[in-house]
């Protein structure tokens, strides 16, 4: 499809420079992000490109599978495994004195898209209510020019992130783990985090913008109060979560903030994403890089860099949760 919601049609939205951060009054520029030490997806077509590249909730019509697709969807997963949609939604575990730092915290990881989405174009093109209007259930995601899919990338980083968070004692749940044929839809992704009573939800993505557009950005919710959408209670904590992740991501990966979204801040406030509009718990999306840029693609396809990306996200989450 021609546009990623991170790159909307001309005239619909322009990235805005966010105001200075309260802490230190500095913009989240590359230098400022690198110095932060806090205590507490569409693009042009190409060989092997995903047929329906898109961002977190791109619009348009999905088509056939890209080369290099991830493993077939529909796996059974591990019953009761924390991190799977089928895991019991019991009360949050208590935090033992002197235990792991994130014990008692619940984190929901939302791997963007699903490897099986391209087989279910009718289902993922179905319109769902995102509070302010109706949008497609989901998209296939984008891919590098060599066919490494966003769905494969997001699952890999999500698995690494889960391991890091669980080592710190967090209870981790996934919205999908390649254990269902397609989806979930964007409204269900939000609902999974809400029903888990998550302390933080992070949706993992990679962008599909034009060549030359590089870097990462963290998307956090704007103030939206219309229809079923009401982000009043999560705007502040979500912004703080985004700031923490952005700062730690720079330090862990060495990547610069996006040069095409967010005015160099590494942050992007959005009011058009159902996954954020319908959330009642702190939630952000992270676009880890641009799969359509050769230099960014070289990073995204590196297992060593993906481990660094997971480390940066985990440190940002931990910093936010520990205050």
Could you give the residue numbers annotated as active site?
287
What span, in angstroms and rounded, lies between the C-alpha atoms of 232 and 143? 34
In the chain, beta strands by DSSP E: 106-111, 127-129, 134-136, 171-174, 200-207, 217-221, 225-226, 229-230, 267-270, 283-290
CA distance 92 to 104: 6
Whole-angstrom Cα distance, residue 243 to residue 246? 5
CA 3 distance to own-chain centroid: 18
DSSP character string of 158-219: HHHHHHHHHHTT-EEEES-SS-SSS---HHHHHHHHHHTT-SEEEEEEEE---TT---BEEE
d(CA 255, CA 74): 34
């Amino acid at each position: 499809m021609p546009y990623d919601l991170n790159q909307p049609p001309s005239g619909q939205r322009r990235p805005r420079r966010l105001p200075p951060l309260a802490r230190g009054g500095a913009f989240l520029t590359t230098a400022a992000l690198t110095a932060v030490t806090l205590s507490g997806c569409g693009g042009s077509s190409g060989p092997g490109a995903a047929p329906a590249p898109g961002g977190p909730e791109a619009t348009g019509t999905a088509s056939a599978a890209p080369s290099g697709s991830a493993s077939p969807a529909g796996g059974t997963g591990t019953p009761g495994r924390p991190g799977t949609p089928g895991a019991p939604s019991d009360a949050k575990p208590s935090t033992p004195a002197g235990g792991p730092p994130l014990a008692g915290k619940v984190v929901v990881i939302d791997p963007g898209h699903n490897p099986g989405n391209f087989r279910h174009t009718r289902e993922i093109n179905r319109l769902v209510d995102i509070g302010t209007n109706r949008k497609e259930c989901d998209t296939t995601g984008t891919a590098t020019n060599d066919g490494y899919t966003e769905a494969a990338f997001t699952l890999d980083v999500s698995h690494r992130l889960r391991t890091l968070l669980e080592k710190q004692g967090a209870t981790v749940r996934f919205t999908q783990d390649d254990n269902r044929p397609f989806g979930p839809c964007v409204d269900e992704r939000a609902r999974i985090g809400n029903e888990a009573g998550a302390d933080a939800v992070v949706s993992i993505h990679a962008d599909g913008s034009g060549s030359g557009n590089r870097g990462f950005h963290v998307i956090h919710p704007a103030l939206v109060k219309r229809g079923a959408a009401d982000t009043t209670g999560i705007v502040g904590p979500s912004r703080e979560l985004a700031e923490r992740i952005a700062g730690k991501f720079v330090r862990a990966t060495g990547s610069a903030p996006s040069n095409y979204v967010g005015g160099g801040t590494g942050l992007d406030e959005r009011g058009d994403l159902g996954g954020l509009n319908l959330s009642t718990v702190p939630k952000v999306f992270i676009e880890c890089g641009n799969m359509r840029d050769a230099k960014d693609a070289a990073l995204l396809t590196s297992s060593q860099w993906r481990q660094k990306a997971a480390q940066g996200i985990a440190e940002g989450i931990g910093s936010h949760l520990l205050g």
